[in-house]
Structure 1
Amino acid sequence: MGSKLKGKDLIKLGFPKNNSINIALGLLNRYRKKEKKERILNEAKEVLKNPEDFKNDPIWAKVVEGLIQPVEVKFHQLKNTRAPFSIYGENEIDEKAKFQLYDALKLPIAVAGALMPDAHAGYGLPIGGVLATDNAVIPYGVGVDIGCRMCLTIHPMKANYIKGNQYKLEKILANHTKFGMRETHDVKHDHEIFSRPEFDDIPMVKGLKSKAYRQLGTSGGGNHFVEFGVVNITDENNEFGVKPGEYVGVLSHSGSRGLGANIARHYTDMAKRQCPLPKNVQHLAWLDLNTHDGQEYWLAMNLAGDYAKACHDNIHHRIAKLLGSQPIAKIENHHNFAWKEMVDGVERIVHRKGATPASYGELGIIPGSMTAPGFIVRGLGNEESLQSASHGAGRKHSRRASKDKFTRSDMNHMLNMNEVTLIGGGIDEAPMAYKDIRKVMKNQQELVEVVGTFQPKIVRMDR
């Protein structure tokens, strides 16, 4: 008997000559290649004899599905008609983003859709796109940065504290927030997220645990940030018990880091293999939630979302400790995720890729740019928008166009005009690259109501 497991070894045991052999070889050679062949073959015999006993096994469950109910791989054509949809602020949205939504609405699994007023073109679903589907999840409908989210903590300090402690606050952000691929905290914190069973039960996630531990409490590159700013609460009847007035706030924007990116890539590749689509919509390949892979992605996605929250919690905990202050309120929300929600009385999978959940009474944060205000909002539960709102101002110019169009001098002038200090940040994130957040908010008055604002004053981004 050779040392490497081969297909003929499984055929000899009685495995049917179908895709279950390829599935078994792929998983075993990837995740159990260091184990003895004889031991694996003995286990494989048990799988054939009693497949039901292995339906929840991290490796064999996928093989069992291939034995009992193989996933049918077939080419899917788009429908000729679109599922119902709504667009908000249509005149402010580029045509490419609209046509990306139109294509998504023709998927056989599409039930309804919406486009938010900050929308612009992306991969698969446009940024600002919302799509409800029938029992299927689209990894690229969630996005690469699974669980990308906002978090705002409000501190019981008057707004003038920022100006009086400018140097101290700049040092806190410069020395105690970490960004990009390489920066991590010298002193690592543990978190209950790392005891989650998914880190043991899902083979590809298991290999990401050490990376996730290293990156806890850090932020990504691009448009991710941590900011000190002035929170102005305007609603006397707010749910978080803060009296109207101005306070010091800490606002963060980031996602699930390397954990989420690797999960997104892995399951997108899997979806593309199982769900062939026309080339122009191949990024919209989906996983059926009745399959092992669909269920596994759902668990991994939720883990990544909870990890993103853990990162924000860690960031805000570190900053609060350095401030010597306990926040009096915390408001947070995902804007790259999929949820099980009721749509027209039926449970659907609602993907929000760059969109804020806005069910009735639900709180969220919609940031502007580094010089424009962000808005604390309360959802109005508008069903036409699939209970969603924008996730920010939205890009007016692409990253490349911004680099061509603006200079560092242009950017500094805008920062000085608005009395904002920037640590890091490239020209591709210049305030002028973004749409007018006030116009965006005006175009979604039927989706959310404003509870308060956040005006950035000291901004930290990737260098």
Structure 2
Amino acid sequence: MSPAFPVPLSGQPNVKLWAHEHEIEQAALNQLRNIARLDPVRRVAVMPDVHLGKGATVGSVIAMEDAVSPAAVGVDIGCGVAGVKTTLRAADLPDDLSGLRSAIEAAVPVGFKVHKNEVDTRRFGGAIESQSHRLWAGAEGLRADVTRAMSRAPKAIGTLGGGNHFIEVCLDADDAVWLTLHSGSRNIGKELAERHIATAKGLPHNRDLPDRDLAYFLAGSEEMDAYLYDLRWAQDYAAHSRAVMMALVRGVVAERFPRVGFTDEINVHHNYVGSETVDGNEYVVTRKGAIRAGSGDLALIPGSMGTGSYVVRGLGDPESLYSASHGAGRRMSRTAAKRTFTVDDLRAQTDGVECRKDAGVVDEIPGAYKDLNRVIEAQSSLVEVVTHLRTILCVKG
């Protein structure tokens, strides 16, 4: 039986936790208390994958009245996950998946790499082509000066990045093959976020905050209007990038399996802002490391290189601000993971997964993350499990 969540944060009844306080690092608890003390904050929901972030805690959902804090979204604006079910079965795949991994890595630049030229989305047609036209038309209205970053942004569409971002081939409970990926707005979202955070820090009402990184904008101000325009554009950029990347991966798979079909597409943010109504009240809701889990919402909650992902459906719990976790969540920093684990540990923990097994990704080892199954169990009132996806191939930057 799952724990009786949520529980209030001690001393802060407007903060509800889907984890026990003793399971959360002290620095993250301090962050949550700082967030709760901000004048415009009305409610905070804390997911079971919670961990320390910059300014705002990763795994936090914050409802503010007539205000928004850029740090409550994070700098990778629009970061999220995408997935698609294929008509392939496990038996259709070769025993050796190294060739498939190499082909995906050839089609999708990883790490700091970008495409040599902007991806011609006319080859995909339909929604992807129309999204591309809208995206670049909207870029003309960006308020922050990101001229240098923008020069690279068209070539970065449909690229993976590094860190915890991934492309995976997985098997569901019925041995059907899924394609999943995790990526964000690449450098352009970071550049936009950092410029608006700097602007917020300079506003008079933010001078006496418990943490300057929590600086916020007020509704009706030019600064908030400018931030929300740029943020929404970056969210669209991230979603479009995932759509293009998934189209590229689908193309690789279709080349090897010409009769393959694709269904059940998912593409959701887990670092974003929405204007939402909760219990009859209008809020600006920020999710930093959290997905929307409204009634019937379909989403992905990934784990790590060796643990796969869960396909979930939201149950629409207003106590969580209609939210759920975005993943397993780190239980140790990248530096600590590199000190703790070796390449041999990585090989052992990713046994059976076609992936990199070198020192460059030791910080992404499954042991550096929380137990995904426990994270899912803790939020059984927030989402129902559709199926578990077992990773058999993982591409990392």
Task: Quickly name the TM-score band, shorter chain normalised.
Answer: 0.7 to 0.9
2:172 and 2:152 map into 1 onto residues whose CA distance is: 34
Partner residue in 1 for 2:229: 299
Spell out the pairing of 1:76-95 with structure 2 (5 A cutoff). Answer: 82=12, 84-90=14-20, 91-95=22-26
Task: Give % identity.
Answer: 32
Instruction: Work out whether 1:359 is the aligned partner of 2:294.
Output: yes
Aligned counterpart, 2:132: 193
Structure showing the higher strand proportion among its residues: 2
How far is the alpha carbon of 1:128 from its aligned partner? 0.3
Task: Give 1:301 shift.
Answer: 0.8
2-side partners of 1:143 and 1:134: how far apart? 19
Task: Give the letter aligned to residue 132 of structure 2.
Answer: I
Matched, 1:156 2:99: no
CA offset digits 1:130-187 (Å, max 9, x no partner): 1100111111111000000010011100023334462331222221221222343557
RMSD: 1.9
Of 215, 223, 230, the residue aligned with 2:171 is: 230
Contact 1:127 1:353 survives alignment (8 Å)? yes
**Residues 326, 318 of structure 1: alpha-carbon distance in 2 compared, 3 angstrom cutoff:** farther
Map of 1:248 onto structure 2: 177
Q: Which residue of the other structure, out of 201, 204, 227, is the alignment partner of 2:144?
A: 204
Paired residue for 2:216, among 265, 286, 305? 286
Counterpart in the other structure of 1:372: 307
Q: 2:249 aligns with which of 319, 332, 349?
A: 319
The change in CA–CA distance for 1:341 and 1:163 in structure 2 (over 3 A counts) is same
Question: Is 1:406 aligned to residue 335 of structure 2?
Answer: no
Alignment equivalent of 1:443, drawn from 369, 378, 382: 378
Which residue pairs with 1:125 in the alignment?
Answer: 56
What is aligned with 2:8?
none
SS of corresponding position for 2:240:
helix
Offset of 1:206 from its aligned partner? Answer: 6.7
**Distance change (3 Å), C-alpha of 1:351 and 1:187:** closer
- Checking the alignment, whether the CA contact within 8 Å between 1:83 and 1:110 is kept in structure 2 is no
- 2:197 and 2:14 mapped to 1: Cα distance? 26
Any conservation in 1 of the 2:118–2:155 contact (CA below 8 Å)? no
Q: Distance in 1 between matches of 2:152 and 2:326?
A: 28
Q: Choose the corresponding residue for 2:193, options 258, 261, 264.
A: 264
Partner of 2:270: 335
Asked whether the 8 Å contact 1:83–1:105 carries over to 2, the reply is: no
The letter for the 1-side match of 2:336 is A
- Decide whether the 8 Å contact of 1:129 with 1:355 is kept in 2: yes
Q: Which has the higher contact order (CA 8 A, sep 6+)?
A: 2
Indicate how the Cα distance of structure 1 residues 165 and 205 shifts in structure 2: closer, same or farther if over 3 A, else same: farther
Match for residue 355 of structure 2 among 422, 443, 456: 422
Alpha-carbon deviations, 1:275-323, whole Å to 9, x = none?
Answer: 4244641111111131112112111111111111111111111111222
Residues 169 and 131 (structure 1), Cα distance of their counterparts in 2 relative to 1, 3 Å cut: same
Give the match for residue 174 of structure 1: 105
| 1:332 positional shift | 2.2
- Displacement of 1:454 in angstroms is 1.2
- What amino acid is aligned across from residue 100 of structure 1 in structure 2? Q
Gaps of 5+ in 1: 1-80, 233-244
Secondary structure of 2:303's counterpart equals coil
Distance 1:229 1:185, change over 3 A: farther
Q: Distance in 1 between matches of 2:326 and 2:250?
A: 25
SS at 2:54 equivalent: coil
Relative to structure 1, is the Cα distance of residues 83 and 270 closer, same or farther in structure 2, using a 3 angstrom cutoff? Answer: farther
Q: Does structure 2 conserve the Cα–Cα contact (< 8 Å) formed by 1:177 and 1:226?
A: no
Paired with 2:48 and 2:223, the residues of 1 have a C-alpha distance of 34
Quote the Cα distance in structure 2 between the aligned partners of 1:106 and 1:451: 37
Contact 2:85 2:263 in 1 (8 A): yes
Equivalent position of 1:387 in the other structure: 322
Paired AA for residue 228 in structure 1: V
Report the CA distance shift for 1:193/1:298 in structure 2 as closer, same or farther (over 3 A).
Answer: farther
CA distance in 1, matches of 2:364, 2:55: 23
Tell me, yes or no, if structure 1 residue 432 matches structure 2 residue 367.
yes
Secondary structure at 1:248's aligned position in 2?
Answer: strand
In 2, Cα distance between equivalents of 1:335 and 1:448: 15
Task: Please say if residues 146 and 337 of structure 1, whose CA atoms lie closer than 8 Å, have aligned partners that are also in contact.
Answer: yes
Structure 2: give runs of 5+ residues left out of the alignment.
Answer: 1-10, 122-128, 255-259
Aligned to 1:105: 36
Report the CA distance shift for 1:205/1:253 in structure 2 as closer, same or farther (over 3 A): farther
TM-score normalised per structure 1: 0.76
